[in-house]
């Protein structure tokens, strides 16, 4: 079977993960080219991953007739333009989230994707491909919990990374906690409930690392949501989880509930010591979602091969962004924000 | 050591529990008298519990010079008047929650209690005496989680009791889900955070038993709270927990978190069968809090004996009620309700 | 209802627990008298528990016509003689385990009990009355796991008590780890499997506290058992559990398994801190089995009142002892020991 | 970096897993050739995995100068001869367990491996490469539990596969439960304890599927072990786990314990329904150890590239076999079997 030939743009931390997966762990994919303005990143791809072609210019890579698909892991602000260039060059596109940094740009990308129905477009909401989240979705579809009507989501980054994040200068240009942290949780909520968010109320606080306040952000936020179909949602996001990377989701239905990683254990080993029975936690998102990053690419390749539409589409990107923006406004104003699409 | 002689008013379901505990399981207590308008209840107390004196009139029991203390388990609307009569008769008082059904009456009870500083007044927020909640509080006081800043509470009655509740006619006169179900959770939130609630936003829905809507109530509600000290709270209450009686609480602090009964297991026995590993849940609040009902009475007796103030005072009753009323208004109006004390 | 009037002999650590339970927590029981050669123990009973009569001579207490029942918590070597004296005086008897320290004496006690069929005799295998063990037994009787055919038992004392135990001088006269620690586990195995042990092979070691070897004992032992009905058993006992008091039991049947306290959590509170998710363990047997000590006495009183035979009888005491002795021999000889009854 | 070119012999169920891993999931490996007498298996490898060369004769594949390494997944009886042929042809060898079906043959393989010190030889005890087992080993090496002195292992196949296994005719020629099921557990015990087994006593039974007895085998067995360094071991193996595939291991040390998969949960999703909180189990060994099969091959490739000795060597294969044979004899004779190496 012919392998799908891929060119990837962006080789930062997450870019390296995607590139290594494409090079080694995704059957049917061949990482043929990379594009980066950073020489060391190109070198990494050539030497460590055996990539043959490299580009410093995104347009040039799109023009490469040998490539079937482009994987975009460039800075968020460049996503819309890169998606447009790649699709206009006739390439299938996988783009890391977020789709764009404004709703207007999200809508523009929708138009581009709609104009190219023969091309696969997939957005990187990789949690949907995590074995446990995928299993939860399947159980819901099988009716295991009846009709879902309440979803609770927790997404908190490890406290031990907070100070270096504050040092990095990223916080003031992150768009705020809601934009930066909540989009995966919002996507999961929409996906599990099967309906769109219609309102959001949010509250925030800074307790531990006061620099979050100095840098114009909050450390912890909670929010509650209504959905078009009458369902409800609760969210807790933050940057100061003492135990490790904390991503938990509960979906409550008329006949039962599902809890995904209620304790995000590092692995299957429990330690019994003088403290008691200790389950260590996953350290960070690469450890927690390592398999999901592989499995979403397997999905992307399979969609290209079969012509099937991927599980995550362009509208998922737009709508998650709309909710994240609304949540940000709710957090800033202290008011309940209604959402129109 | 002289036993504290107790007269109890009210012998409904919970009244029977209190009476049996006072008769058999609370060292230092002697259940000397009961008061009820129901002959069968009096008979139960005399025959099963060996109580010697019985009254049909509350005032007469208060006049009994042999009694040291009165335990009030009468209907909520009668609490303020019964508290007043008992304290004016010079008796220590234990009163089941709620303190009263209006804020004005709560304030009146405060005045009565303040006028009798030599008498013990204790309100029945028994969860504080549950071994696990008491342990959680102690750990917080020891600094185990640093400064608490977010509390999440879940309190959902078993789904298998919903239909008989709807048949009973209680729902329309219950005051609504928030009044009926949330006061224990609100008390726990205030207790763990150590600060008063300043605002609440709430959402509700009916999904499974549509009669809750017909009877003017919701089946499930969520809410979020701000506290005077900047802390935040999330609440989920309802009447349709499929697995059993569901009471869970998480307190999140700067150095760690505590989770009380994240799975409210029936006991220490796990069943492994073709479904997998199954932890059955507690069936209802008497099963979950059986020991707490004993331990709160042990506290009451100890406070009488030592002159110590009990852990739950009259202001806890007022403030939990104020928040429950505000939550009810938030649920009805869909608006954020600010709270003044 | 007339209370059962009890005289208790022995007021050591466990004796105090029993006495306090009888005085305060066992409906229908009245602790009327105690017997002890130690003046301070008598004082405790009189002052703290309000006991009216006290004896220094066991025979005199047995002669007290006001007493219905005798509770024996005296040293193990005195159990047979005390049982005999009490039953010959026409008293119901509750005796702490072990029944006796030789099989011959166990048989003698059997004769005494058989000669007094109108009197209740109950042995203190309190674990059977622990809510979780009792629940497991009920589930088995209901067929939840089909036919049980393998039982695994763990009983390990906390490591933090090992050094004081070694200092106490008790180890050399304890009869060895098997006699001292295994009898509860052996009783549970027999009870759950519903058949008698027919062989045992055992192994022991000392790794941490070398003084166990110096004092002629082992620190840890494992054993495997065959039962008359073809079932099998695995046992792990010891004195050096680092996490706390460790009692775990698994019963495996043709249709499922039951695990009782696979993690012997202190309570329902889980701590999340930088170590991960931590479940603290119960500290010792009084904490783990506090309710069981009460519930076995409730059973004793109920048997007296109803004429019902108690769940634990004299043959349970003999047979558990026989297996413990066989296990001790297996441990010493390194050979498989066959058991005849 | 040059890829290691691999030829694989044997394409049964497990062979297909290894081949797919080598083709798609093991960076640095290239599955160049396969060898099988079954045409359909060859077709699978060519069409599904894109393998270029195929052989029906093992010797011919060994003679292929393009191959660096041979992966042997042929029937157990052929392992010694295939190892010999491959190594004499100068190929690195990965061989599925067991090393051989007699101790004499194990010794012969040792001689072959010793005669080719420049070639990598690795045996497929893949559990050592499971992320949780590998983590447990690392924790022990870091001193997290002090000195290990007792290991408990459970390995039970799912009950739902028992009948088809009995139909398959495999049981009578499997060598018995101990040979067929225990070798992974024995290897883990040796690995964690860091010492060799010196004696074994074993017991077996058939309770559910009586055909195991008819076919000369047991359904469930337990065993206990002594180790050269004084440590002890407990084992429970079987073929009738009602909940799913059950592999659990506990390593107990002087300062703590480690439990690997005390509940072998299917994934991170817990189901709450009317039964309670349900953790589904892994269905079978491919589901449980899917990642381990990949990671052991990554280790094999890395050892070839670096000249490093693999974590599992030829003596591990011999010694696990010796213990499995001794366990089989112990089971048959009912006696304690001493082991000499």
Q: Is the ipTM of this complex over 0.90?
A: yes
Residues contacting B290, CB < 8 A, separation 6+: none
In angstroms, rounded to a whole number, what is the distance separating the alpha carbons of residues C140 and C188? 13
What confidence category does residue B1 fall into, taking pLDDT thresholds of 50, 70 and 90? low
* Min distance D170 CA to chain B CA atoms (Å): 25
Contact at CB, B277 and D263, closer than 8 angstroms? yes
As given in the structure block, the two tokens for residue B164 are: 């008989």
pLDDT at C1: 58
What confidence category does residue C83 fall into, taking pLDDT thresholds of 50, 70 and 90? very high
In angstroms, rounded to a whole number, what is the distance separating the alpha carbons of residues D90 and D118? 9
In angstroms, rounded to a whole number, what is the distance separating the alpha carbons of residues B334 and B332? 6
The chain-wide mean pLDDT, for chain D, equals 97
Task: State the average pLDDT over residues A92-118.
Answer: 97
Residues of chain D in contact with residue A274, where contact means CB-CB under 8 angstroms, are: 255-256
What confidence category does residue B2 fall into, taking pLDDT thresholds of 50, 70 and 90? confident
Question: Which of A292, A296, A261, A297 is CA-nearest to residue A279?
Answer: A261
CATH number for the domain whose boundaries are D128-289+320-338:
3.30.360.10
For residue B277, the chain D residue with the least C-alpha distance is D279
In angstroms, rounded to a whole number, what is the distance separating the alpha carbons of residues A178 and A169? 17
Residues contacting A37, CB < 8 A, separation 6+: A56
The chain-wide mean pLDDT, for chain A, equals 97
Task: State the average pLDDT over residues D17-35.
Answer: 95
Among partner residues C273, C277, C280, which is closest to A263 by beta-carbon distance?
C277
Q: What is the length of chain C?
A: 341
pLDDT at A1: 58
Task: State the average pLDDT over residues A156-164.
Answer: 97
Strands C121-123 and C92-95 turn out to be parallel
Please report, for chain B, the start and end positions of each structural domain, with discontinuous segments joined by +. 4-119, 128-289+320-338
Residues contacting A86, CB < 8 A, separation 6+: A62, A70, A72, A93
Task: State the average pLDDT over residues C233-249.
Answer: 98
Give the best residue of C207, C249, C279 to mutate against chain D (max D CB count within 10 A): C207
Contact at CB, D281 and B279, closer than 8 angstroms? no
Residues of chain B in contact with residue A231, where contact means CB-CB under 8 angstroms, are: 205
3 state DSSP class of D338: strand
DSSP conformation class of C265: B
Task: State the average pLDDT over residues A9-15.
Answer: 96
Among partner residues D224, D226, D231, which is closest to C224 by beta-carbon distance?
D224
* Min distance B257 CA to chain D CA atoms (Å): 21
Q: Is the pLDDT confidence value at C7 over 70?
A: yes
DSSP conformation class of A96: P
* Min distance D278 CA to chain A CA atoms (Å): 10
Task: State the average pLDDT over residues D58-65.
Answer: 98
pLDDT digits (tens, 9 = 90+) for D232-242: 999 999 999 99
Give the best residue of D243, D276, D278, D287 to mutate against chain B (max B CB count within 10 A): D276
B323 touches B237 (CB < 8 A): no
pLDDT digits (tens, 9 = 90+) for D314-327: 999 999 999 999 99
C-alpha pair distances (Å), D14 with each of A39, A253, D71, D75, D300: 43, 40, 12, 11, 17
**DSSP-assigned letters across all residues of D268-284:** SEEEEETTEEEEPBP-S
C-alpha pair distances (Å), B12 with each of B15, B20, C74, C242: 5, 12, 44, 47
Task: State the average pLDDT over residues D95-103.
Answer: 95
Dihedral (Cα; A322, A324, A327, A331), 10-degree rounding: -130
Contact at CB, B259 and C267, closer than 8 angstroms? no
pLDDT at A2: 82
B224 touches A201 (CB < 8 A): yes
In angstroms, rounded to a whole number, what is the distance separating the alpha carbons of residues D181 and D198? 20
What confidence category does residue B23 fall into, taking pLDDT thresholds of 50, 70 and 90? very high
Helices B183-193, B314-333: axis angle to 10 degrees equals 120
Among partner residues C277, C279, C281, which is closest to A243 by beta-carbon distance?
C277
| Residue A56, H or E segment | none
* Min distance A277 CA to chain B CA atoms (Å): 15
B276 touches C259 (CB < 8 A): no
DSSP conformation class of A93: E
How big is the A-D interface in CB pairs under 8 Å?
A: 93
As given in the structure block, the two tokens for residue D333 are: 């004779």
pLDDT at D1: 58
Contact at CB, D234 and C231, closer than 8 angstroms? no
3 state DSSP class of A165: helix
D283 touches D160 (CB < 8 A): no
Phi, psi of C124 (to 5 degrees): -85, 50
How far does Cα D230 stand from its chain's mean position? 26
CA angle at D217 for the pair D214 and D218, rounded to the nearest 5°: 105
pLDDT at C2: 81
Q: Percentage of chain A surpassing pLDDT 70? A: 100
In angstroms, rounded to a whole number, what is the distance separating the alpha carbons of residues D228 and D73? 32
Contact at CB, A277 and C266, closer than 8 angstroms? no
Residues contacting A237, CB < 8 A, separation 6+: A154, A155, A156, A177, A178, A181, A182, A185, A220, A221, A222, A223
pLDDT digits (tens, 9 = 90+) for C279-328: 999 999 999 999 999 999 999 999 999 999 999 999 999 999 999 999 99
Phi, psi of A92 (to 5 degrees): -65, 150
Task: State the average pLDDT over residues A55-83.
Answer: 97
For residue A239, the chain B residue with the least C-alpha distance is B254
pLDDT digits (tens, 9 = 90+) for A181-218: 999 999 999 999 999 999 999 999 999 999 999 999 99
Strands B148-158 and B69-72 turn out to be unpaired
Q: Is the pLDDT confidence value at C95 over 80?
A: yes
3 state DSSP class of A70: strand
Among partner residues A243, A266, A276, which is closest to C281 by beta-carbon distance?
A276
In angstroms, rounded to a whole number, what is the distance separating the alpha carbons of residues C307 and C312? 14
As given in the structure block, the two tokens for residue D18 are: 């290894």
Phi, psi of B240 (to 5 degrees): -140, 45
Contact residues of B toward D, CB < 8 A: 242-244, 263, 265-266, 272-281
As given in the structure block, the two tokens for residue B305 are: 């004996």
Q: Which residue has the tokens 């044997």?
A: D10
Contact residues of A toward B, CB < 8 A: 146-147, 149-150, 152, 201, 203, 205, 207-208, 220, 222-224, 226, 230-232, 234, 236, 240, 242-243, 254-257, 262, 334-336
Helices B183-193, B131-141: axis angle to 10 degrees equals 20
C-alpha pair distances (Å), C254 with each of C151, C226, C277, D190: 12, 17, 34, 30
pLDDT at D228: 98
Q: How many CB atoms lie under 10 A from the CB of residue C60?
A: 13
How far does Cα D222 stand from its chain's mean position? 19
Residues of chain C in contact with residue A267, where contact means CB-CB under 8 angstroms, are: none
**DSSP-assigned letters across all residues of D283-300:** -SHHHHHHHHHHHHHHHH
Q: How many CB atoms lie under 10 A from the CB of residue A135?
A: 18
C-alpha pair distances (Å), A307 with each of A86, A87, A313: 18, 16, 14
* Min distance D137 CA to chain A CA atoms (Å): 10
Look up the CATH architecture of domain C4-119.
Answer: 3-Layer(aba) Sandwich (3.40)
Residues of chain A in contact with residue B150, where contact means CB-CB under 8 angstroms, are: 205, 220, 222, 236
Contact at CB, C276 and A243, closer than 8 angstroms? yes
Q: Percentage of chain B surpassing pLDDT 70? A: 100
Contact at CB, B220 and A149, closer than 8 angstroms? yes
Question: Which of C56, C20, C132 is CA-nearest to residue B279?
Answer: C132
Residues of chain D in contact with residue A264, where contact means CB-CB under 8 angstroms, are: 268
In angstroms, rounded to a whole number, what is the distance separating the alpha carbons of residues D195 and D187? 11
């Amino acid at each position: 079977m012919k392998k799908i030939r891929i060119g990837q743009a962006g080789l930062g931390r997450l870019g390296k993960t995607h590139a290594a997966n494409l090079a080694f762990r995704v059957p049917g994919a061949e990482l043929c080219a990379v594009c980066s303005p950073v020489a060391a990143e190109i070198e990494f791809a050539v030497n460590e991953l055996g990539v043959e072609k490299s580009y410093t210019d995104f347009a040039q890579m799109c023009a490469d007739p040998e490539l079937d698909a482009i994987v975009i892991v460039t800075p968020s602000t460049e996503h819309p333009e890169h998606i447009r260039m790649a699709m206009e060059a006739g390439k299938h596109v996988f783009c890391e989230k977020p789709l764009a940094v404004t709703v207007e740009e999200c809508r523009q990308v929708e138009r581009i994707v709609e104009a190219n129905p023969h091309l696969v477009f997939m957005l990187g909401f990789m949690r949907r491909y995590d074995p446990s989240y995928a299993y939860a979705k399947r159980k819901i579809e099988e009716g295991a919990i009846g009709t879902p009507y309440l979803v609770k989501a927790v997404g908190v980054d490890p406290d031990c990374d907070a100070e270096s994040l504050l040092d990095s200068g990223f916080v003031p240009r992150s768009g705020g906690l809601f934009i930066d942290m909540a989009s995966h949780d919002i996507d999961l909520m929409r996906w599990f409930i099967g309906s769109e968010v219609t309102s959001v109320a949010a509250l925030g606080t800074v307790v531990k690392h006061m620099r979050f306040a100095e840098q114009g952000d909050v450390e912890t936020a909670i929010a509650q949501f209504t959905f078009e179909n009458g369902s409800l949602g609760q969210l807790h996001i933050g940057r100061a989880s003492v135990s490790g990377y904390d991503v938990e989701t509960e979906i409550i239905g008329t006949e039962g509930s599902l809890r995904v990683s209620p304790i995000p254990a590092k692995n299957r080993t429990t330690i019994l010591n003088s403290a008691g029975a200790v389950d260590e936690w996953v350290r960070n998102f690469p450890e927690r979602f390592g398999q999901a990053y592989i499995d979403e690419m397997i999905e992307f390749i399979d969609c290209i091969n079969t012509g099937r539409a991927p599980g995550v589409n362009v509208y998922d990107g737009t709508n998650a962004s709309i909710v994240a923006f609304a949540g940000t406004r709710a957090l800033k104003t202290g008011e309940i924000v209604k959402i129109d699409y």
